[in-house]
Every structure is written in structure tokens, then in C-alpha cells.
Amino acid sequence: MKVLVTGGAGFVGSHIVEEALRQGHQVVIVDDLSSGPRGNVHKDTLFCEVGIADPRVHEIIEREGVEAIIHQAAQVGVPSSLEDPRHDAASNIMGTINLLEAAKKYRLQKFVYASSAAIYGSPDYVPVDEAHPLRPMSFYGLSKKTGEEYVLMYDQYFDINAVCFRYANIFGPRQTSGEGSVVPVFLHRMLTGDPVTIDGDGNQTRDLIYVRDVARANVAALTSDARGTFNLSTNEEVTINHLFRTLDKLTGYGKEAVYGPPRPGDIYRSVLDNAKLAAVLDWKPETNFVDGLEETIAWWKTRIGE
């Protein structure tokens, strides 16, 4: 299958590209390189440096005979979404609509959309299943929720065969500390010997899933009967304190964490139920938590020259 991967130079997108190529698909990448570096572009793909809201995306899809879209490109920063909601909406909503129009126009076989646990907001219960109320707490979460609703409605009216993955907290190689996720923030500081600050008491939890497990699910969805919304997660809670202790041991950091005040609006417990996806897609996370962290540490050491 010939697949268009948006954001294919990004953290998650570049791993999806690798998995798609490994499984024998042909890949076209659309990425404006606003966040993902050119060095992440795989040599065995056709790379088009263009934004997802650009009308030229339609020309690329038609010219290259694209059969499916895995849509990963997005503005992903929560603070950025609050500072510049217009840019957030232009990318995450209008860009998605542009791709959906292409899927409708060219009758593509599959549309896979990267949604987020941010659409749930502060949970009423854990683990959070797909029936949980959607109460996003940022413009980023709102834009992902809106994008997902557009995807599902396009599927309803135009039969685009869509899957929406609500991502838990993804970690792995190529994720930088600038993306704000806890694993790369901790690792950058530990490997440079800087103090590590834990916001709040550290007992808040996250559902940490390794990026290659996320990539496998996205590529598996291309040829599956899966349709609708699915949590993409480990269904396991990891406290920030446990994460710190594990990284401390693996890196030899040897310093105590500094505890600061809780971040306003921070979700205390976050874990997503993945039973629906496991049943429909015959998928489960395969990467051991520590193994995933070790691979991530190895990548970070090469990045900072250690």
C-alpha cells in the first residue's frame, strides 16, 4: 500500500514511517519541518516539505497514487496552544480538514488519525475508557477533540474508513526535551548533571507507552477492519517518583530530585484502558518499560555526545 504519513519527520511519525517500510508499504512524507528535523526523514521515502493545510497536499496525493493516510502532524504544545490558539487551530483543525477532503476526493482506503488523552481532561475514574466524558483542559486538547469529531463525521458521511488513536504518554528515541514530555526532560537534565525538578509530590501517574508500540498499531490499522476511536496505551500507571528512580538507576545520575509546587491544571492520575484496541486490532504493547527506557537513554547519549 502507498501511505502518506504526515509529520513523518517528527518523533512519532518517523517511527511509523520505519514500521510501514519494514512491513513492505511505500511511504510519502508530508512535513513542513517546523518541529521534526530533516535528519529524521527516511531515505527510502518520497519527502515533500509542505504543511498539511497547503492545497498542494491534494496534488501530491493524486500524483503519487496515495492509498491511505496516517495523520500525525500537529501542533502538540499545550502552552503554545494557550499562547497562540489561532495557530493551534490552523494546524490541528484546518490542516486535518484539508486531509479529510483529500481522503474523500480520492476515495482513499484508510484514514488513521493521531488523537490524544488530552481530550479527556481530568478523569472521573481510571483506567479511562473510550466512553469517558471528553473535557479537554487546553486549546490543544480542544483542537484534538474537534479534529477527531471531524474525522468521525467524515467517516459517517463519506465512508473514509477512519481510525482515531487516543495516545497515552509516548516516549522513546528522537523525542526531545523541547516537546515537554517528562521522560526527555528528566533525561536531558540527568545526562548533563543538572537538577531534576518534580512538580508536586511525584505520586501523580502517567501511562507511558514506547513509541515503537505506537508505530505498530498505526501500521496495523491500515489493513485491519478497525474503525472508530481507540485508546492507544499500556493500561499501566507509573508514578513520576518511580520513573525518576528508574532513570536514576539506569543513568547513574546519583542525585536527589528537587520537589516544586504542582503545575496548575496538571492531571494527577492518567491511565488509559486499552482493552477495546487489543480486542479489535489484535495488538498489545510488547516493549518492556525498562527496555524502552534503556533504548531512549542510548539515543540521548549519542545526541549530547556522551
Q: Report, as residue numbers or ranges, the catalytic residues.
A: 140
Radius of gyration of the chain (CA): 19
Which residues are CB-contacts of 204 (< 8 A; sequence separation ≥ 6)?
A: 239, 240, 266, 267, 268, 269, 270
Residues 93 and 104: their CA atoms lie apart, in Å, by: 16
Asked whether 120 and 172 are in contact (CB, 8 A), the reply is no
Asked whether 115 and 144 are in contact (CB, 8 A), the reply is yes
List alpha helices for the chain, DSSP H.
Answer: 11-22, 56-64, 78-83, 85-89, 95-105, 139-158, 182-192, 211-222, 240-251, 275-281, 289-303
Q: How far out from the chain centre does Cα 185 lie?
A: 17
φ/ψ of residue 58, rounded to 5 = -65, -40
DSSP state of 122: S
CA dihedral 35, 36, 38, 44 (to 10 degrees): -150
